[in-house]
Chains A and B, each alone.
Chain A
Amino acid sequence: MKKILVLTGSAIAIAAGAAIAQDKELTIVSWGGAYSQSQIKAYHEPYTEKTGVQILNEDKSANALAGIRSQVEAGNVTWDVVDMLQADAQRACDEGLVLEIDHDEWLAPAPDGTPASEDFIEGTLGPCFIPQILYATMFAYNTEAFEGEGPQTIEDVWDLEKFPGTRALQQIPQKNLEWALIADGVDADQVYEVLATQEGQDRAFAKLDEIKDNVIWWTEGAQPPQMLADQEAVIATAYNGRIFNAQVNEDQPFEIMWDHQMFETDGWVVPVDTGNVDTIKDYLYFATDSQRLADQAKYISYGPARNSSASLVGNHAETGVDMKPHMPTSPENLETAIPFDVQFWADYGDALEERFNAWVAG
């Protein structure tokens, strides 16, 4: 009995030894894959070099809101800085799960002295949210999968006869429902109005039904380029940076279809009760200044969230490709774009997610 206690105790002590001693460490939660790589190169590595603070990466952003919620409720917060979507950040902020941020105190001014609160692109800063990038979700396809020209519009994506094959869609209602309505003939600027009604929701799901048998679902951003490469799918929705990465770094024959791309903001939040606030503030001041945001765009084709970063964006770090035409914010890519409505999804997300999950599983 005693022996067992001793054994148990010592085994736990050994294991616990590995877990403590974390004071000069930051746990940063992000999306993994090429996106995390761009953050590591542009933010983490220079920061570690400058300060010696070690950065632990955790690829849990896909479930960031639930993760923060359970950590805060349990009173045991292990995440220091979390990369999350603006819509989720809004909810986390409303629920008091993340710190409120005084932007001008926490963030560096632009090189010309413009305070941070005026330097970030309008509408992107939130009371608890520091934007990093504007990114697009849109359709992309493997050019080898089609004899002639690939799909050019959302209607083409729904045209199974002209463009046969499997579609890979993200397993969330967001954006899929918007595109379904567009494919059904709704005007881009009315999409959210229609989607707020019962009939509009029925209509969107009915439209999705048309292609359901030809859809496979993805959950992580790294999957769609993989699925296109293996031709498990011939058309896929994806984050534009992932497709860019596959085109440039892996020479994949992919083409982005910018028609009705949906762009939204992604950025940092800081969970309450992390205890590490000084280090976190120091990191964020460094990692979100104009140069750092522009540096990230050297590795992945996402638009920096600061106006002052735009002129600093140059060429791709490894291949020297000019990054500007690959940005979701470049004018020709923005022609038919739909801005993602954060408020709409904060209100209708629960109900539509539930319906969507029931629809997928059914």
Chain B
Amino acid sequence: MASRERAPKQELLAADGTPLKAALRRSQTVERRRAFMLVAPLLFFLLIVFVVPIIAMMWRSVYNPEIRNYLPQTAAALQDWEGQDVPPEPVFQAMAADMIVGVENRTIGRAAARINREIPGARSTVMRTARQVDEWSAPYREKFIEADEDWTNIEFWRILKRESRVVTPTYYLLAVDYEYSSEGEIVPRSEVYQVYKQLFWRTAWMSVFITALCVMLAYPISYMLATQPTRIANLLLILVLLPFWTSLLVRTSAWIVLLQQQGVINELLVALNIIDETGRLRMIYNRTGTIVAMTHILLPFMVLPLYSVMKTIPPSYLRAAKSLGAHPFRAWWRVYFPLTIPGLAAGCILVFILAIGYYITPALVGGDSGIFISNLIAQNMQGSSAQLKLAAALATILLVAVLFIYWLFNRLVGVDKLKFG
């Protein structure tokens, strides 16, 4: 009742007497809440089972707890050390205390493994000393050095101090082929260890190449599908949809059957005397294998958006252009082609995004020269804990690249425009 009194006279009222604006707003809020409630289960499911794990993975790529957790006193004692000479007695004392705890808890090896990543051989030094240290008493410095010369290695202590940070960019540096020098500067890695920059680059150019091949192959057949009478077009469409619906592994194994040295194509060429037994072509387990198989697998993703756009372009446009005197090619280029750009853009971005993340096909048919960055991520996922973090860093970089393209795609085309089947 109070609300009615406050309401100015000229305001419209709803049937129950409340102001229409407020009622409308309220009902809209209710509607909004209802709509959101419908989306909420999936949204929260994805947040928990998808978004949170990805964020956790990103965290892992910078998380560096080994020294801090397993050599805590040493890490603390090193904070005051300038990094010029062999550390003083308190540092060694802390190290001895940490080692005794570490041997007891059997965690010393984890710290040793972390240091060994930076200095090959340091593991042995740490483990050997750790096994003796409980028999020693202060002062420790001389006893450490007596047991192993390596304890006077300043580089070792510098690295220990540097890696006692819990958050480190180390793995991102490695992921782009950089590292810390012993002075703590960021420098390119020695050439023999460089691989990731090259792999990112290869993944990018091969994906562009595969996308371009898909455009070249998809454009003519999409045009044919769009211009044929429905009955024939539907039949031809099956030739696109069947591969689309067929298992990726099936299609990859088909290419192995066709391309390998004892495979169908080589046998055929030998039987036709085009090549001899010793001249069998190597078409698989290399770059060629990856490109051929992936183009085949991704082609439908290019055809379908192109076709759905071309279907909506009336053929009369081309005829009109020609009858107005345009050369057929000019007519096509100036009239038809621009109209297909939305489909082309959708197809290109879709194929490119799928291609740069590919793993299975390159793993099976790529050999050494045809593998992608995903394959190195997988390889590192099965390695040491340092490699696991490197995998997380590589994956994060790839993810950022993909999300950027996805964002671009969303701005240019709109993700809800994606259609299948």
Residues on A close to B: CB < 8 A?
1, 4, 63, 65-67, 69-70, 73, 91, 93-96, 100, 196, 202, 205, 216-217, 230-232, 343, 346-348, 350-355, 357-362
Chain B contacts with A in 385-402, Cβ cutoff 8 A: 385-388
Q: Given A91-B109, A357-B195, is A216 in contact with B386 using a C-beta cutoff of 8 Å?
A: no
Q: Given A96-B107, A216-B285, is A358 in contact with B194 using a C-beta cutoff of 8 Å?
A: yes
Expressed in whole angstroms, the minimum distance between the Cβ of A226 and any Cβ of chain B is: 12
The yes or no answer to B123 lying at the interface (CB within 8 A) is yes
Report the Cα distance A355→B120, complex, angstroms. 12
Instruction: Indicate if the CB atoms of B383 and A66 lie closer than 8 Å.
Output: yes
What is the interface size of chain B, counting residues whose CB is below 8 A from a CB of the partner? Answer: 41
Q: Given A95-B109, A96-B109, is A354 in contact with B368 using a C-beta cutoff of 8 Å?
A: no
Chain B contacts with A in 295-352, Cβ cutoff 8 A: none
Instruction: Indicate if the CB atoms of A95 and B194 lie closer than 8 Å.
Output: no
Residues on B close to A: CB < 8 A?
37, 41, 105-110, 112-113, 116-117, 120-124, 127, 192-195, 198-199, 260-262, 285, 367-368, 371, 376, 379, 381-388
Q: Given A96-B109, A216-B367, is A70 in contact with B120 using a C-beta cutoff of 8 Å?
A: no
Instruction: Give the dominant DSSP class at B's interface.
Output: helix
Of the residues A1, A67, A231, A355, contact of B192 by C-beta under 8 Å = A355
Expressed in whole angstroms, the minimum distance between the Cβ of A320 and any Cβ of chain B is: 34
Given A100-B106, A232-B261, 16 further pairs, Cβ under 8 A? A63-B382, A66-B383, A73-B385, A91-B109, A91-B113, A94-B109, A94-B127, A95-B106, A95-B107, A96-B106, A96-B110, A232-B260, A350-B386, A352-B120, A362-B194, A362-B198
Expressed in whole angstroms, the minimum distance between the Cβ of A177 and any Cβ of chain B is: 13
Of the residues A73, A348, A361, contact of B368 by C-beta under 8 Å = A361
Report the Cα distance A217→B366, complex, angstroms. 12
Report the Cα distance A205→B190, complex, angstroms. 14
Report the Cα distance A360→B105, complex, angstroms. 38
A1, A96, A205, most chain B CB atoms within 10 A: A96
Expressed in whole angstroms, the minimum distance between the Cβ of B374 and any Cβ of chain A is: 12
Of the residues A65, A231, A350, contact of B116 by C-beta under 8 Å = A350
Report the Cα distance A196→B120, complex, angstroms. 9
By Cβ-Cβ distance, the 3 closest A-B pairs, closest first, are A94-B109, A96-B106, A358-B195
- Listed A/B pairs (7) with beta-carbon separation below 8 Å: A66-B387, A66-B388, A94-B109, A96-B105, A96-B110, A357-B195, A361-B376
Expressed in whole angstroms, the minimum distance between the Cβ of B34 and any Cβ of chain A is: 11
Report the Cα distance A26→B116, complex, angstroms. 34
Instruction: Indicate if the CB atoms of B193 and A355 lie closer than 8 Å.
Output: yes
Please give me the residue from chain B that is nearest to A99 by CB atom. Answer: B106
Q: Given A96-B106, A96-B110, is A346 in contact with B123 using a C-beta cutoff of 8 Å?
A: yes
Of the residues A63, A69, A202, contact of B385 by C-beta under 8 Å = A69
Instruction: Indicate if the CB atoms of B117 and A94 lie closer than 8 Å.
Output: no
Taking CB atoms, residues of chain A closer than 8 Å to B385 are: 69, 73
Of the residues B41, B261, B285, B381, contact of A1 by C-beta under 8 Å = B41
Taking CB atoms, residues of chain A closer than 8 Å to B192 are: 202, 205, 355, 358-359
Expressed in whole angstroms, the minimum distance between the Cβ of B244 and any Cβ of chain A is: 28
B106, B113, B194, most chain A CB atoms within 10 A: B106
Expressed in whole angstroms, the minimum distance between the Cβ of B68 and any Cβ of chain A is: 16
Please give me the residue from chain A that is nearest to B376 by CB atom. Answer: A361
Expressed in whole angstroms, the minimum distance between the Cβ of B305 and any Cβ of chain A is: 32
Report the Cα distance A360→B33, complex, angstroms. 56
Instruction: Indicate if the CB atoms of B261 and A353 lie closer than 8 Å.
Output: no
Taking CB atoms, residues of chain B closer than 8 Å to A217 are: 368
Q: Given A70-B388, A347-B123, is A94 in contact with B113 using a C-beta cutoff of 8 Å?
A: yes
Report the Cα distance A198→B60, complex, angstroms. 32
Q: Given A63-B382, A66-B384, A353-B383, is A94 in contact with B120 using a C-beta cutoff of 8 Å?
A: no
Instruction: Indicate if the CB atoms of B120 and A350 lie closer than 8 Å.
Output: yes
Taking CB atoms, residues of chain B closer than 8 Å to A232 are: 260-262
Please give me the residue from chain A that is nearest to B126 by CB atom. Answer: A94
Expressed in whole angstroms, the minimum distance between the Cβ of B204 and any Cβ of chain A is: 15
Taking CB atoms, residues of chain B closer than 8 Å to A95 are: 106-107, 109-110, 113
Taking CB atoms, residues of chain B closer than 8 Å to A343 are: 124
Please give me the residue from chain B that is nearest to A67 by CB atom. Answer: B382
Expressed in whole angstroms, the minimum distance between the Cβ of B381 and any Cβ of chain A is: 8
Taking CB atoms, residues of chain B closer than 8 Å to A91 are: 109, 113
Taking CB atoms, residues of chain A closer than 8 Å to B193 are: 354-355, 358
Report the Cα distance A70→B367, complex, angstroms. 28
